[in-house]
Structure 1
Amino acid sequence: MDPDEIPPEIVDAEARALQQAMGEITGLVSQFETFMASLLRPWNAYQVGIVIAVMAVALLMRHIFGPPIRAWMASREGWPKWRMRILAIIHRRLFMIFFVISIWLVVGVMREVTWPSRSFLLIIVAELTTAWLFVVFVTRLIRSAFLRAIVRYGAWTYVTLEILNLRDETVSILDSVGFNLGDARLSLLTVVQGVLVVTALIVIARFLTGTASGRIQRNEEMSPSMQVLAIKFLQVTFYGIAIYAGLRLTGIDLTGLAVLSGAIGVGLGFGLQKVVSNLVSGVIILLDKSIKPGDVISLGETFGWINALGARYVSVVTRDGKEYLIPNEDLITSQVVNWSHSNEFVRLDIYFGTSYDNDPHEVRKLAIAAAKGVPRVLSHRAPVCHIVGFGDSSVDYILRFWITDPTGGLTNIRGNVYLALWDTFRENEISIPFPQREVRMLDKPAD
């Protein structure tokens, strides 16, 4: 809109709001100057000195009682973690706790021995520190450090303004700083309210999601993939409702989101194909239950077990401790070997050869007996041994056996079976041939 086309009533409203804000700021500055000047009065200066003395006493008490309390906490080995966590929070806030207790004791004594006006500053300090301490303990219930910091500092600011009777002036100043967006007006007060309301609703949504996720994970009737899908659905639903409700409660007009959604659609068409493909592939994987947490898979050169299913990728941990983050799209479009998809039984094959001088019937019996004696090899699915060919220097065999714990490793179980074959063959004089070559040194012909 051209500046000349702005209605005069809007210009006048903005000018009045700005003039009112300047008046509020001037009033606050005047109150601050008056307060600083009042500190020079005898009784106010005495109260400031009392506050400093109480701080010194609180520091001394923390220095005296802090180490014994910490030693006592260290001796509580059998206590639950939540109780130890509360004790740790209390130990870190010993100075503030001692200060709050001491300042209220001083306020009680001052009210008894002198006039109420002589303890006015002490009461304000006591109320502020008590409210701050209460906010600290309440916000510890929020697990996210980022959300905890936002809620804590926001609550500290609010209770400070409320106790100092500056809330109305602050609201007026924040509301006067803003601009018009069509028929709506966006002010700094609206932004602050939106952040606080949305943050509070997100904290509630996070708590509800965590509680519901714990119950879903304890439900043994649901498969792991369905548990992950249900948890993801709840997260998207609760967080979406929290953001939408927060914006609506703040008074922000959401009709403009239609334009934003169109812009997002254009962005998806140009640069977010892979992201969307991985998100859709993740939903497909959860729905068709092709893989789930705990499955052992092979994808190309990667062999390991599924650690977690994410919205964009799957975490696969290998036997050497490496964690591969494989995009969900690769698990849909590539050939994946799932060693534990329908059941946990895995058959392994090893090859070996013996001399033509050994009886093949005896070799087969000894090989089967050796495999049965190896831990992890199943006995109810008995190993089998077959001749697969007559080589140049050996009779070739294949030994097949079954296991039910591929997460325990495949190379190590093959190695253990090979060692069992070696020991059994040596005890029964079964020879394992190997290529032998004869080198002849020819005399050099005479000239």
Structure 2
Amino acid sequence: MERLGAWLAGHNLPGTAELSEAAIAAGLAAIAMILGWLAGRHIGTRITAAWAERINGNAATFHLRACAIVRWSSAAILLGLIAVSWPWMPLGALIVGLVQAFSVAMLAVAVLRGLNLPRWAAWTLAALAFVAVLSHAIGGFSVVEVTLDRVGIQIGQRRFSLLSALTIGVTILLLFAGVRLANKLLSHSIGSARGFDPTQKLLVQKLAGIAVVVLAFFIGVDLLEVDLTAFTVFSGAFGLAIGFGMQKTIGNLIAGILLLMDRSIKPGDVIVVGDSFGWVNKIGVRAVSVVTRDGKEHLIPNENLMTQEVENWSYTDRNVRVRIPVTVAYDCDLKRAQELMLRAAAESPRVLDNPKSNVWLMAFGQSGAEHEILVWISDPESGVGNVKSDVLNRLWVLFKEHGIFIPYPVRDVRVREWPTDGAPGSAPE
């Protein structure tokens, strides 16, 4: 008991007034958390519904975290007001600071995860925000700052420490999050504009994305106080090497911008490049995504579309003519057979009524009269082979019903003479 009394005498325990103040601080912090929860439940739900209705899910998962963002931001604001509204004693300031730091950290996680940042990046920034807010609440961040700045090395005229490394990392992560958020907002704003067609919207979105990245780079250079004049010679040589090494990449980037400006190839067009046939799904910075009827996605470099011959089936008109070869026997009624061909084409659901289908007699072949059924479709991205199959299936049934025959090769074999030792009917010796 004597040792306990001596230990208590040597330490300043909080008095009744400080404990009472701490209890009040804890109660106010609890009220702030409850109000934040109510705000997230009511206001956040409405924001989520309005966001999802207007954007239709095109803003990643950011709208799904609106409730959490409203909840933690409301709690953090209320706790900030509580912290500055009264000169709290150390224990009360610690309680308010802990709850406020927790709210700010959870708010950082909700925002950064809503921007699809990796978990490690979101939780790292949240931990830093927690430490910064708590340190400010209990007396400032100066002690931690001085401690981090003591550990470092001197390189030339510049000193690198843990504080500078932490500052660089936090700045890069914040700029990355800012770029993601700016790109999403710009993409939504441009996508909802009514004065542009889809190709122009895509072009403006890509140019805006490049401008945001360049702006973020210069902001980062200014915040980190990087002296670019010291890297003039090195950056020139490095830039020359990068230019030679990435000339294909830069060429594809410029080719993609030219394709969007020229509008010769647009998302949704049906194109043929070499052996690749499909519809354009996306025009990216490096390549164009072409989806085939087999579900395969071909990534064709933009430069290839600028230098190679490309068949665009929907450049000026989406109507495409499909040729279906058919051969009938010579002893059939050709006029009747041609009428049935037109009937089969007219009954196919994807064949257009205008332009009208037609049947041409192409040649008198070895086994029958060769025809071509010419039909028009307006949705080539849905495939061409299935149209041919549908017309031929209908034509097969019509030919069977009306006695029209499809010829098949017939070969006559003539034997001029039989060998004397192998005449027909002779028994082998």
Question: Is residue 235 of structure 2 the alignment partner of residue 265 of structure 1?
Answer: no
C-alpha separation in 1, matches of 2:152 and 2:49: 53
Q: Which blocks of at least 5 consecutive residues in structure 2 are unaligned?
A: 1-6, 28-40, 54-62, 83-87, 415-422
Across the aligned residues of Structure 1 and Structure 2, the Cα RMSD in angstroms comes to 4.3
For 1:244, the aligned partner's letter is F
Return the offset for 1:186.
Answer: 4.2
Return the offset for 1:433.
Answer: 1.3
Aligned partner of 2:101 in structure 1 is 131
C-alpha separation in 1, matches of 2:403 and 2:302: 53
Aligned partner of 1:85 in structure 2 is 64
Is 2:290–2:300's contact at 8 Å kept on the other side of the alignment?
yes
Return the offset for 1:149.
Answer: 3.9
Question: Is residue 373 of structure 2 the alignment partner of residue 389 of structure 1?
Answer: no
Q: Which of 317, 322, 332 is 2:306 aligned to?
A: 332
Instruction: Mark the CA change 1:384 to 1:42 in structure 2 (over 3 Å): closer, same or farther.
Output: same
Seq. identity, %: 30
Instruction: Mark the CA change 1:291 to 1:38 in structure 2 (over 3 Å): closer, same or farther.
Output: farther
Is 1:297–1:339's contact at 8 Å kept on the other side of the alignment?
yes
Aligned partner of 1:402 in structure 2 is 376
For 1:408, the aligned partner's letter is S
Return the offset for 1:89.
Answer: 4.5
Instruction: Mark the CA change 1:442 to 1:240 in structure 2 (over 3 Å): closer, same or farther.
Output: farther
C-alpha separation in 2, matches of 1:224 and 1:87: 29
Aligned partner of 1:254 in structure 2 is 228
Instruction: Mark the CA change 1:446 to 1:246 in structure 2 (over 3 Å): closer, same or farther.
Output: closer
Aligned partner of 2:264 in structure 1 is 290
Return the offset for 1:358.
Answer: 2.0
Q: Secondary structure at the match of 1:311?
A: coil
Return the offset for 1:210.
Answer: 1.7
Instruction: Mark the CA change 1:197 to 1:409 in structure 2 (over 3 Å): closer, same or farther.
Output: same
C-alpha separation in 2, matches of 1:303 and 1:398: 23
Is 2:272–2:278's contact at 8 Å kept on the other side of the alignment?
yes
Is 1:297–1:303's contact at 8 Å kept on the other side of the alignment?
yes
For 2:277, the aligned partner's letter is F
Aligned partner of 1:66 in structure 2 is none
Return the offset for 1:42.
Answer: 12
Aligned partner of 2:204 in structure 1 is 230
Instruction: Mark the CA change 1:219 to 1:82 in structure 2 (over 3 Å): closer, same or farther.
Output: closer
Instruction: Mark the CA change 1:377 to 1:438 in structure 2 (over 3 Å): closer, same or farther.
Output: same
C-alpha separation in 1, matches of 2:108 and 2:371: 70
> How does 1:367-378 map onto structure 2 within 5 Å?
367-378=341-352
> How does 1:3-22 map onto structure 2 within 5 Å?
none
Question: Is residue 298 of structure 2 the alignment partner of residue 317 of structure 1?
Answer: no
Q: Secondary structure at the match of 2:229?
A: coil
Is 2:97–2:134's contact at 8 Å kept on the other side of the alignment?
no
> How does 1:153-172 map onto structure 2 within 5 Å?
153-165=127-139, 167-172=141-146
Q: TM-score, normalised by structure 1?
A: 0.70
Is 1:194–1:247's contact at 8 Å kept on the other side of the alignment?
no
Question: Is residue 171 of structure 2 the alignment partner of residue 197 of structure 1?
Answer: yes
Listed one character per residue, the Cα deviations across residues 170-198 of structure 1 (whole Å, up to 9, x for unaligned) are 22233344445554444443343333334
Q: Secondary structure at the match of 1:380?
A: coil
Question: Is residue 195 of structure 2 the alignment partner of residue 216 of structure 1?
Answer: no
For 2:243, the aligned partner's letter is L
Aligned partner of 1:145 in structure 2 is 117
> How does 1:102-113 map onto structure 2 within 5 Å?
none
Instruction: Mark the CA change 1:42 to 1:82 in structure 2 (over 3 Å): closer, same or farther.
Output: farther
Aligned partner of 2:405 in structure 1 is 431
In the alignment of these two chains, the number of paired residues is 377
Question: Is residue 338 of structure 2 the alignment partner of residue 364 of structure 1?
Answer: yes
For 1:124, the aligned partner's letter is L
Q: Secondary structure at the match of 1:248?
A: helix
Q: Secondary structure at the match of 2:182?
A: helix
Instruction: Mark the CA change 1:430 to 1:82 in structure 2 (over 3 Å): closer, same or farther.
Output: closer
Aligned partner of 1:30 in structure 2 is none
Q: Which blocks of at least 5 consecutive residues in structure 1 are unaligned?
A: 1-33, 55-69, 71-75, 105-115
For 1:384, the aligned partner's letter is N
C-alpha separation in 1, matches of 2:110 and 2:424: 89
Out of 155-164 and 409-418, give the one that drifted further.
155-164
Is 1:307–1:317's contact at 8 Å kept on the other side of the alignment?
yes
Instruction: Mark the CA change 1:220 to 1:361 in structure 2 (over 3 Å): closer, same or farther.
Output: farther
Aligned partner of 1:11 in structure 2 is none
Q: TM-score, normalised by structure 2?
A: 0.73
Q: Secondary structure at the match of 2:111?
A: coil
For 1:145, the aligned partner's letter is L
Question: Is residue 274 of structure 2 the alignment partner of residue 304 of structure 1?
Answer: no
C-alpha separation in 2, matches of 1:141 and 1:426: 68
Instruction: Mark the CA change 1:195 to 1:278 in structure 2 (over 3 Å): closer, same or farther.
Output: same
Return the offset for 1:398.
Answer: 0.7
Instruction: Mark the CA change 1:200 to 1:412 in structure 2 (over 3 Å): closer, same or farther.
Output: same
Instruction: Mark the CA change 1:380 to 1:352 in structure 2 (over 3 Å): closer, same or farther.
Output: same
Is 2:117–2:177's contact at 8 Å kept on the other side of the alignment?
no
C-alpha separation in 1, matches of 2:135 and 2:250: 46
For 1:300, the aligned partner's letter is G
Return the offset for 1:82.
Answer: 5.7
Return the offset for 1:435.
Answer: 1.9
Return the offset for 1:376.
Answer: 1.2
